[in-house]
Amino acid sequence: MIAAGKVDDDYVKPARFVDSDHPAVAAFATRAAADASEPVAAAVRLYYAVRDEILYDPYVPPDDPDTYRASAVLAKGRGYCVGKASLLAAAARALGIPARVAFADVRNHLATPRLLELIGTDIFVYHGITELWLDGRWIKATPTFNLTLCEKFRIRPLDFDGRADAVFHPFDRDGRQHMEYLRQRGSFADVPVDIIVPAMLAAYPRLAELNKASGGDFAKEAEEQAKTSPRS
């Protein structure tokens, strides 16, 4: 299944972190896109598989290469935005759909108190996005928050139809601010770990330390936050 149009070979071939040639990634892509007759339909199926089967978990060590490697995220069944974006890109490439990873700094107005305490800010650097080459153009897809987490946090699930960009809603179901895009960081054929890791460690040194010590249960935190936050 090859997407129409010509793009750079780097967006089709396997990479160190977008490891589309890993057998488990290929099997995941084949299963998720079963019965899809063309690239757009396949991309939509891949998006929902990564969004909902891989749980969002921000409590991952930013200095561990497996945090960013598609096959490792798939094996763990959880990851944060960059790892999930890497997996979606890898799964797409496994089916011949050109894909790349892109990044932006965002202000997340609905992060949990514990996460905010650990990172010391509501600005998240190098938020990960997948870009898929469909019908001759790049389409953004953001498979970050799984459906069950959205329900606990009262965030509207982010849907994807393969034809329009799927980027975060600015408000949640109760009219509270959710996500604000502050700065675009560019698109890459592979996860630029040599750039992201120093940026993450500099921005959130305490998160790096506590990840190794205790981790966290972000879904439970989100549920408790939703219970105590005022409704608009």
pLDDT string in tens for the chain (232-residue length): 555 557 899 999 999 999 999 999 999 999 999 989 899 999 999 999 999 999 998 888 888 999 999 999 999 999 999 999 999 999 999 999 999 999 999 987 567 778 878 778 888 899 999 999 999 999 999 999 899 888 877 777 889 999 999 986 655 566 665 678 888 999 999 999 999 999 998 988 877 676 655 566 777 776 666 666 544 4
**What local confidence, expressed as pLDDT, does residue 231 receive?**
43
Indicate the number of domains in the chain. Answer: 1
Instruction: Check if the beta carbon of residue 120 is closer than 8 Å to that of residue 113.
Output: no
The answer to the question of residue 4 being in a domain is no
Global confidence as pTM? 0.88
The answer to the question of residue 31 being in a domain is yes
CA–CA separation, 71 vs 48, rounded Å?
Answer: 17
41 contact partners, CB below 8 Å, separation of at least 6: 33, 162
Give me the long-range contacts of 37-41 (CB less than 8 A, separation at least 24): 38/1, 39/1, 39/2, 39/3, 39/4, 39/95, 39/96, 39/97, 39/134, 39/135, 39/162, 40/134, 40/135, 40/162, 40/163, 41/162
Domain range enclosing 196? 9-224
The answer to the question of residue 2 being in a domain is no
The answer to the question of residue 94 being in a domain is yes
**What local confidence, expressed as pLDDT, does residue 169 receive?**
60
The answer to the question of residue 229 being in a domain is no
**What local confidence, expressed as pLDDT, does residue 118 receive?**
79
The answer to the question of residue 123 being in a domain is yes
The answer to the question of residue 3 being in a domain is no
**What local confidence, expressed as pLDDT, does residue 232 receive?**
41
Instruction: Specify the CATH number for the domain of residue 96.
Output: 3.10.620
Instruction: Count CB atoms within 10 A of the CB of residue 75.
Output: 13
The answer to the question of residue 50 being in a domain is yes
**What local confidence, expressed as pLDDT, does residue 210 receive?**
61
